[in-house]
Amino acid sequence: MSNQKINITIDDVKAELERRKYNKIDYWFPDTGPFARENYKKHIKFLEDSATNRECALMAANRIGKSECAAYAVSCHLTGRYPKWWTGRVFNKPINWLVAGETGKLVRDSIQLKLLGPPNDIGSGMIPKDCIIGKPRPKAGTPDAVDVVYIRHKTGGQSLLQFQSYDQGRTAFQATERDGIELDEEPPLDIYSECLIRTMTTNGLVLSTFTPLKGVSETVLALQDKAEKGLCSLTIATWDDAPHLTEKDKADLMASLPPHQRDARTKGVPALGSGAVFQISEADISCNPFEIPKHFKRLYGFDVGWNNTACAWGAYDAEADVIYVTHTYKRGQAEPATHAQAIKERGDWILGAIDPASRGRAQADGEQLIALYRGQGLNLILADNAVEAGIFDMYERMATGRLKVFSTCFEFFAEYRLYRRDEKGKIVKQNDHVMDAARYMVRSIIGAGVVNVKREDPYAKANKRVGWMG
């Protein structure tokens, strides 16, 4: 072992700190240490998935470094300075890239700051100082905000980086083709769709990073649907995916959060929202599926419509007085025979409680829907459609642990996150078909006795308050 003394001066330290300050891209996600890549698996997945997905979204908790992760990806693409470990999308030429956020001020104070550094120290952000060409062009109307800046690509050409905001409207995103777009915080669906169009001919990337404070919005629903079909990458990251957050950090942050935002800000789960009908965490009502005992009573709620028809199956443990939502069904624009077949596959012996308003709806052949569905072999009674009473019953049971939902009931939870009242206290009648079906089921279980219906005569007692088959 050598005993040779290494002389490091104050000037050496200052020079190294200066180099790191203006070359942050070279020090992110190292091989070892507390910030090593292996400790940030969700962040790395978001980066790597761009190799095979044109759309990549990181729906994440606050303070986990999602915007920094996006800034790192954008910087690598603009400069061509990818690390040796990089397995995501690679651009081998200068590119045209757009970054956007909710407002010009928020863009300036968030993603612009992370990419370029503060206005008085351009180059101290994620993009290396020696890659920034000239002085950024300012954006009119917002002090210190940048419109366009040119970035030196390692091939020798110039990449273009532009900043915009959602409040400029969809038209501001039109016309120009882009190699990539990064959306910092959740965009409206129309702007997200426009970004897909702007990157279509280039086979470009659309990256989005946000905390889902708007609940299960149209954008979230679209991303979830695409992800389920394998059409995009949707990564959900929680506080547990950010080891730089200490337990004290988490406790201090949690204490400052309103209850309806905690799941969104800590787990990346869409927020319930201040107008949510049921301000109870999903974790408090969700349970793992189990084989339903034969002595549990069974019934499903049935909400009928052309745009959406939905069912919610329930199982009642009379001894514990607990109702379980075990399965859900939701499909739009299908004939009664299609819905009926799907329902019977769950068990044609199970009694259904159908929306009584269905009596007044007619199909093209003029038959009443209830009669039509009975003709398809469904065993139906009329549901109790007392809206506020039904909501109270569900809420009271949720709050006392007597209404549980199988974690596999995805349609239920998707609507649960959106189920809300407007400013006048009225239920918003959108994306609520499974919720209505669940309410019919709960009210029918509560209001009916345990009385079997004769299967051979499914029509006779349709309008009586009867129970369900066991």
Q: Within a domain: residue 203? A: yes
Least confident window among 55-64, 218-227, 360-369: 360-369
Between residues 470 and 296, which one has the greater pLDDT? 296
- At 99, phi and psi to the nearest 5? -120, 135
Burial grade of 298 (CB within 10 A; 0-12, 13-18, 19 or more): buried
**Catalytic: which of 55, 102, 182, 185?**
185
Q: Within a domain: residue 1? A: no
Domain C-terminal end among 239, 267, 295: 267
Domain C-terminal end among 211, 239, 267: 267
Q: How confident is the model at residue 423 (pLDDT cuts 50, 70, 90)?
A: low
Does 303 lie in the same domain as 259? no
- The pLDDT of residue 254: 87
Range 309-330 average pLDDT: 95
d(CA 239, CA 176): 37
Residue 460: is its pLDDT beyond 90? no
Q: How confident is the model at residue 106 (pLDDT cuts 50, 70, 90)?
A: very high
Q: Within a domain: residue 457? A: no
Centroid of chain to Cα 86: 27
Residue 456: is its pLDDT beyond 50? no
d(CA 122, CA 70): 18
- The pLDDT of residue 286: 96
In sequence order, the β-bridge partners of residue 181 are 98, 206
Range 57-62 average pLDDT: 95
d(CA 352, CA 301): 6
Residue 304: give its domain's CATH number. Answer: 3.30.420.280
Which tokens hold the place of 86?
């990089």
Long-range contacts of 417-422 (CB under 8 A, 24+ apart): 417/215, 417/216, 417/270, 417/271, 417/272, 417/282, 418/215, 418/216, 419/276, 419/277, 419/278, 420/215, 420/273, 420/275, 420/276, 420/277, 421/275, 421/277, 422/275
- Residue-wise pLDDT tens digits, 351-383: 999 988 764 554 444 357 888 899 999 999 998
Give all strands of the β-sheet with 286-287 in edge-to-edge order: 286-287, 403-406, 322-331, 309-317, 297-303, 351-354, 380-382
**What residues make up the domain containing 398?**
284-447
- Helix extents (H) in 199-328: 218-228, 247-255, 262-267, 282-285
d(CA 313, CA 320): 18
Range 454-463 average pLDDT: 32
- The pLDDT of residue 428: 81
Least confident window among 180-184, 422-426, 446-450: 446-450
Does 202 lie in the same domain as 74? yes
Does 189 lie in the same domain as 129? yes
Least confident window among 326-340, 432-446, 453-467: 453-467
Does 301 lie in the same domain as 373? yes
Query: What's the mean per-residue pLDDT of the chain?
Result: 87
Range 409-430 average pLDDT: 82
The angle subtended at Cα 281 by Cα 326 and Cα 310, nearest 5°, is 35
Does 359 lie in the same domain as 233? no
Question: Does residue 281 contact residue 401 with C-beta atoms inside 8 Å?
Answer: no
Q: Within a domain: residue 465? A: no
- The pLDDT of residue 344: 94
Does 153 lie in the same domain as 30? yes
Active site (annotated) includes residue 186: no
The angle subtended at Cα 24 by Cα 22 and Cα 29, nearest 5°, is 170
Q: Half-sphere exposure of residue 275, counting CA atoms within 13 Å on the CB side? A: 13
d(CA 460, CA 464): 9
Does 245 lie in the same domain as 161? yes
Orientation angle between helical segments 218-228 and 189-198, nearest 10 degrees? 50
d(CA 432, CA 387): 12
* Count of domains forming the chain: 2
Q: Within a domain: residue 8? A: no
- Residue-wise pLDDT tens digits, 2-41: 566 667 777 777 777 888 899 999 999 999 998 999 999 9
Q: Within a domain: residue 278? A: no
Share of the chain above pLDDT 90, in %: 65
Does 299 lie in the same domain as 257? no
Does 223 lie in the same domain as 352? no
Q: Within a domain: residue 350? A: yes
Does 291 lie in the same domain as 245? no
Share of the chain above pLDDT 70, in %: 89
Q: Within a domain: residue 469? A: no
Residue with tokens 């019934």: 299
Does 302 lie in the same domain as 229? no
Residue 155: give its domain's CATH number. Answer: 3.40.50.300
Between residues 289 and 252, which one has the greater pLDDT? 289
- The pLDDT of residue 464: 33
Does 227 lie in the same domain as 156? yes
